[in-house]
Structure 1
Amino acid sequence: MQAPVTHILALTNLRRARLLPAAGKVLVKQGQKVSPNDVIAETVLHPRHMVFDVRQALGITRPAQLSQAIERRVGDKVEVDDVLARSGGLFKRVLRAPVAGQVSIISGGRIVMEVDSPLFQLRAGLAGIITEIIPERGAILEASGALVQGTWGNGRTDSGVLLSLAATPEDVLTRERLDVSMRGAVVVAGHCAQADAIRAANELPLRGLILGSATADLLPVLQTALFPILLTEGFGRIPMNLAAHRILTTNEKRDTAVNATVWNAFTGERPEVLIPLPAAGSVPAESVTLKEGLNVRILGMQQAARVGMIVSLPAELVHLPNGVRARVAQVKLENDEQLAVPLCNLDVLE
């Protein structure tokens, strides 16, 4: 059975495609070094259009006068207050552009203008090297370092020095634990149940927050935070898995990039933390075949987030307490306890 992999690695090589959602302009070159906040490509996602009725605006009644009144041509760039059309005669009228844009259509006495919209800027999301350019869409980046992938992110990207408030995976983040010394840092904590703690982090501000879990009622606050927030386990009262906790806390005070992108099951893109390290590792696989010796994390059970190793994969179906018959794996936890866990409740850690 093939299983997706959550990468929690002390050292690895990464290859990431960073792509615009629509065609645009690529701003980097092959071989260029980039930092997490560097803009590598940009585009206009949702262009707006404005329609100007020249006949009505200038009070023109004769069709022959329209072509003389319109002073712009299709493709013309216009700035704010530039003249679009003007009438002659004793009582002159002028039609000006209220915003900057480009004339896209002139027809039937109307001018259609595409209005300049804010650019969507695609950031690198990690420190690395551009190894390939994808014309009009983005680039391929490669980097090496420690990697921790999560299950949820609020869609933001930033970087800073890593600081830990998680002496144990269960430690709770409160407003009182945040102080001015953490301004501009990426903070690791266990669980958060207080909206005030997130607001305090906004006020500092932090450059990133890595949590094991958070209560579901905090979702609106997490989504509107001004910095990236990543959950390694998800929503509920779930301690951070020991593998992720160990990597994050042992790399304290290192530069850290948090790419809290939304998990996309179709592209494979998911929220992740990269701690750049000088040595090179191997390229991780995106899926593996379940087998003995694999490190796994338990999902959706009383033992959620516990980490262990598969010691056997019985071929026969097993009756579970809920009455379902399913294939299971015998998993040996770090405290030497063994559990029979349904295969669908296992997440491979590599």
Structure 2
Amino acid sequence: MIVPVHHVTGLTTVVRERLLPISGSVVARIQQKVSAGDVVAETRWAREHALLDIAHALKISPVAADALIKCQVGDRIKAETEIARGKGIFPRTVTAPRDGRVVAVGGGQVLMEVGESKMQLRAGLPGTVVEVIPERGVVIQASGGLVQGVWGNGRIDTGLLVNLMDGPETVLAPGRLDVSMRGSIILGGIIKSPEILQALAELPARGLIASSMLPALLPKAREMKFPVLLTDGFGSVPMNSLAYKLLSTNIKRELSLNAENYDRYSGAHPEVFIPLPTSSEPPLADDFRELAPGVQVRMLRPPAMGMVGSVVSIKPGLTTLPSGMRAPSAEVKLENDETVIVPLVNMEVVG
């Protein structure tokens, strides 16, 4: 049985797309070495639109107004530039209300994009540009440690990792935060208090990696200007042992924290990338792997939710569970040496 892999690994090679939301220009080139903060693409778009009714302003028909309009689609014009002028001794005029770009002309009207905004797309992780996607972005290849999460608030940033966890079951208290952590990514355990998020925003922190968070705090987490990533879920779930060990042994190392939203169709996960020097390129991370005896798995449902174990055997056919339901299952030996029967849908391969 082939199943998706949830990556928690100390050294691998990743290939990641970095794309603009709309068409723009790519400034990076093939084989360019980039750092996480380097701009790889940029674009511009209008925040507003202004509709100029030339026919109404000049008190003429739309057909007559079209003949008097001086601009064309695509023209960039400055504020107060004359758009159209009527006829007569004292002609009426229509001027551009603001700097902008003409996007449509016709029917005696002119539509302008105004209030232009600029977006710069940064690499997000240090690596090498291996592909340029025209007008949209780049593909970056990098080597290092990788920890994927289950939820992110859509932000991305980099910073030094500071550990505030004493163990996988640590609940982060507001009193643990101080000004020395400003500009850092915080490894924080279980989040139960909104004061934690507020305190991190006031520092400000560069990011938060938590094992879990109370569902009531998710709206506030989405509002944070820094990335927030949950490794294990919602509620009071301890951090799985693999993620905790890998993250807690990379303290004071520069991390790339991409808390993008999970998308089961594209395979996108919120993730922590730990850049590491390598003498040779490690193998690419497998997105799919066969579920077989000896494979490491993580439990996705209670009572062993978040625990890691190894598959002992795959049960033939359907297994009757304590609930009375019948489902494909496997025998798993957990890290506490307990052996349990788990439905295949309640586990995922990690590695």
TM-score by length of 1: 0.93
Of residues 200-209 and 36-45 in structure 1, the stretch that sits farther from structure 2 once superposed is 36-45
- Residue aligned with 1:161, SS: strand
Post-superposition CA distance 1:88-123 (Å, at most 9, x none): 545454322223222233223211223354244433
**Which amino acid in structure 2 is aligned with residue 291 of structure 1?**
A
**Which amino acid in structure 2 is aligned with residue 107 of structure 1?**
G
> 2:62, 2:108 within 8 Å by CA — same for their partners in 1?
no
> What is the deviation of 1:126?
1.2
Q: Percent identity?
A: 44
> 2:294, 2:312 within 8 Å by CA — same for their partners in 1?
yes
> What is the deviation of 1:313?
1.4
Distance in 2, Cα, partners of 1:46 & 1:323? 58
Q: What is residue 134 of structure 1 aligned with on the other side? A: 133
> 2:55, 2:65 within 8 Å by CA — same for their partners in 1?
no
Alignment of 1:208-227 (within 5 A): 208-227=207-226
Alpha carbons of structure 1 residues 187 and 54: separation in structure 2 relative to 1, 3 Å: same
1:5 paired with 2:5, answer yes
Q: What is residue 337 of structure 1 aligned with on the other side? A: 338
Distance in 1, Cα, partners of 2:271 & 2:277? 19
Alpha carbons of structure 1 residues 8 and 63: separation in structure 2 relative to 1, 3 Å: closer
> 2:63, 2:107 within 8 Å by CA — same for their partners in 1?
no
Post-superposition CA distance 1:32-66 (Å, at most 9, x none): 12222333223457775432111222344796576
> 1:60, 1:66 within 8 Å by CA — same for their partners in 2?
no
Q: What is residue 309 of structure 2 aligned with on the other side? A: 308
> What is the deviation of 1:72?
2.1
Distance in 1, Cα, partners of 2:263 & 2:234? 18
> What is the deviation of 1:190?
0.8
- Residue aligned with 2:50, SS: strand
**Which amino acid in structure 2 is aligned with residue 210 of structure 1?**
I
Distance in 2, Cα, partners of 1:273 & 1:142? 15
Q: What is residue 106 of structure 1 aligned with on the other side? A: 105
> What is the deviation of 1:86?
3.1
Distance in 2, Cα, partners of 1:153 & 1:89? 63
1:291 paired with 2:288, answer no
Q: What is residue 247 of structure 2 aligned with on the other side? A: 248
Of residues 50-59 and 286-295 in structure 1, the stretch that sits farther from structure 2 once superposed is 50-59
**Is there any run of 5+ residues in structure 1 with no aligned partner, and where?**
none
> 1:72, 1:103 within 8 Å by CA — same for their partners in 2?
yes
Alpha carbons of structure 1 residues 142 and 66: separation in structure 2 relative to 1, 3 Å: closer
Distance in 1, Cα, partners of 2:243 & 2:270? 13
**Is there any run of 5+ residues in structure 2 with no aligned partner, and where?**
none
- Residue aligned with 2:17, SS: strand
- Residue aligned with 1:118, SS: strand
> What is the deviation of 1:264?
1.4
Post-superposition CA distance 1:136-161 (Å, at most 9, x none): 22211011111000011000100000
Distance in 2, Cα, partners of 1:66 & 1:188? 62
Of residues 55-64 and 255-264 in structure 1, the stretch that sits farther from structure 2 once superposed is 55-64
TM-score by length of 2: 0.93
Aligned positions, number: 349
> 2:53, 2:109 within 8 Å by CA — same for their partners in 1?
yes
**Which amino acid in structure 2 is aligned with residue 306 of structure 1?**
M
Post-superposition CA distance 1:62-95 (Å, at most 9, x none): 9657634x33233321122322223454545432
Post-superposition CA distance 1:306-337 (Å, at most 9, x none): 01111111214221111111222111112211
Of residues 134-143 and 243-252 in structure 1, the stretch that sits farther from structure 2 once superposed is 134-143
Alpha carbons of structure 1 residues 91 and 190: separation in structure 2 relative to 1, 3 Å: same
**Which amino acid in structure 1 is aligned with residue 24 of structure 2?**
G
Distance in 1, Cα, partners of 2:113 & 2:70? 17
Alignment of 1:202-281 (within 5 A): 202-279=201-278, 280-281=281-282
Of residues 170-179 and 185-194 in structure 1, the stretch that sits farther from structure 2 once superposed is 170-179
> 1:131, 1:142 within 8 Å by CA — same for their partners in 2?
yes
- Residue aligned with 1:10, SS: strand
Alpha carbons of structure 1 residues 184 and 65: separation in structure 2 relative to 1, 3 Å: closer
